[in-house]
Amino acid sequence: MDFKLSEEQRMWQESIHAFVAKEVKPKARFVDETALFNWDAVHKMGPLGLLGLFVPEAYGGSEMDAISSAIAMEELGWACGSTALSIAAHNGLGCAALALFGSHELKVRYLTPAAKGNHADGSYSQLAALALTEPGAGSDLKGGVITRAEYHNGYWTINGTKMWCTNASIADFIVTLVRTEPGKGSHSLSMILVPTECEGLHIGAIEKKLGVRGSPTNEVTYQDVCVPADHLVGKLGEGLTQTLTVLDGGRISIGAISVGLAQSALEEAVQYAMQRNAFEQPIASFQAIQWMLADAATEIQAARLMVYYAAWLKSQGKSFTKEASMAKLFATEIAERVCRNAIQILGSYGYSQEYPVERLYRDARLMTIGEGTSEIQRLVIARKLISEFQ
C-alpha cells in the first residue's frame, strides 16, 4: 500500500481541519455539558460534502474515497467526539445502508436530502440512523432481534423496541433491522426504512451517558408502525448480511474517530508537559513523561496507518472485514490508553473539566463498545484468520 496521501486527500484534510477547528472544536465542551447537538456546525457540513461521504454524486453525495472519508472522521474526532459519532452514524450507518442496498426511489426520496443536508424546498434535513440493537440483543443480532415486521396488503407493520440508537431524535428516517420470518435462521432478518414521522413510532428521551453526551442516543419503540412495502431496504431476508457489510465500513469510521480523539489528547499533553514545572524544570524533561508521550505518538501513528490500510482495501474493492476489525480494535483501545495517560500527565488538572482530556477519555471509552465491542472484533479477526489457514 502506498500510504502517502494524494494531493487531493491532503487538501481535503487541510480544509476539513480548518472547518472543524473553527466550527466544531470550540463548542465541544458546550455540547458535552449541555447535551445539545451542534446543529450550527452540522448545517454547514452539507455543502462541504461531509453529510454524503458514501453517497453517489447522482444522489447528492460527495462520494469520497474511503481514505478521505476516514480523514474526515479523524478530523471530526479530533474536534469533538459527540459530533463525530453522530456524523459517523449518519454517514456510515443510516446513509450507507441506503446507499448500498436501497432502491432508486428510496435513494431519491430519503438519501438525497440526507446527503445534501437540505430538502428540495431548501429547509434543512435531519440526519439518518440505523437501529440494530435491542434491549435484549446487541452483539448477537442474529439470535436476539425480536422486533417483528409483518407483511399485509402492501404494507409492513412493525412492532418492537430498539435501544441505543444514535441520532434517532434528530433523524428523518431510521433504517431498522427487523425479523421478517419466524425463527433464528440467517435469512429471517431484513432492513426496513422507517420515517420518523410515522404514527406509532415513539422516540425516547436522550440517554444520559458517560461520554459522547452531545450525540443523542435514544430508545425507539414501534407500536403497529405501518410503512409501504417499497420501504424494504435491499432484499427480503438479507438483513443480517447487509448489516455486517455496513458495520465493516462503520468500523473504519469508529477507528478514525478514535485516532482523532487520541491525537487531540496527545496535543494537550505535550503542550501541558512543556509549560508545567516541577522540581524546577518542565515535566516534559522527565523520562517518565517522555515515555508516555512517545508511546502515545507511536500508537497513534500505528492506529492511523491501520485505519488508512483498511480504508484503502475498501477503496480497492478488496475484502476488508478483518482489517476493519483490526483497525477498530487497535485504534479504540490505544485511544483509551492515550487519553488515560494524558490525564496522568496533566495530574489533577487532567481530572478537572477545566481541560478537555477528561472529556476525551469519556468519549474514547464508548469507541470500544459501539459498532461491535473489542471482544466481538477479536472474534471477527480470529474467525477470518483461522479460515485463511483452512
Ligand X SMILES: Cc1cc2nc3c(=O)[nH]c(=O)nc-3n(C[C@H](O)[C@H](O)[C@H](O)COP(=O)(O)OP(=O)(O)OC[C@H]3O[C@@H](n4cnc5c(N)ncnc54)[C@H](O)[C@@H]3O)c2cc1C
Taking the complex as a whole, the smallest distance from the CB of residue 210 to ligand X amounts, in Å, to 9
Among 20, 72, 96, 165, binds ligand X (CB under 6 A): 165
Taking the complex as a whole, the smallest distance from the CB of residue 33 to ligand X amounts, in Å, to 17
Q: Rounded to whole angstroms, how far apart are CA atoms 30 and 314? A: 35
366 binds ligand X (CB under 6 A): yes
131 binds ligand X (CB under 6 A): yes
376 binds ligand X (CB under 6 A): yes
Q: Which lies closer to ligand X via its Cβ, residue 9 or residue 373?
A: 373
Taking the complex as a whole, the smallest distance from the CB of residue 373 to ligand X amounts, in Å, to 3
Q: Which lies closer to ligand X via its Cβ, residue 304 or residue 359?
A: 359
254 binds ligand X (CB under 6 A): no
Largest separation between any pair of C-alpha atoms in the chain: 80
Q: Which lies closer to ligand X via its Cβ, residue 94 or residue 113?
A: 94
369 binds ligand X (CB under 6 A): yes
332 binds ligand X (CB under 6 A): no
Taking the complex as a whole, the smallest distance from the CB of residue 167 to ligand X amounts, in Å, to 7
Active-site residue identified among 181, 371, 375, 388: 371
Which has the closest alpha carbon to 227: 198, 202, 249?
A: 198
371 binds ligand X (CB under 6 A): yes
Taking the complex as a whole, the smallest distance from the CB of residue 160 to ligand X amounts, in Å, to 13
Interacting stretch for ligand X, rule CB under 6 A, among 4-12, 132-140, 186-194, 299-307?
Answer: 132-140
Residues binding ligand X: number (CB under 6 A): 23
Q: Which lies closer to ligand X via its Cβ, residue 82 or residue 341?
A: 82
Among 375, 382, 383, 385, binds ligand X (CB under 6 A): 375
Name residue 38's amino acid. N
Among 102, 239, 356, 370, binds ligand X (CB under 6 A): 370
371 is catalytic: yes
Q: Which lies closer to ligand X via its Cβ, residue 17 or residue 362?
A: 362
As annotated, the active-site residues are 371
Instruction: Enumerate binding residues for ligand X (CB under 6 A).
Output: 89, 93, 130-133, 138-139, 164-166, 209, 212, 217, 366, 369-373, 375-376, 379
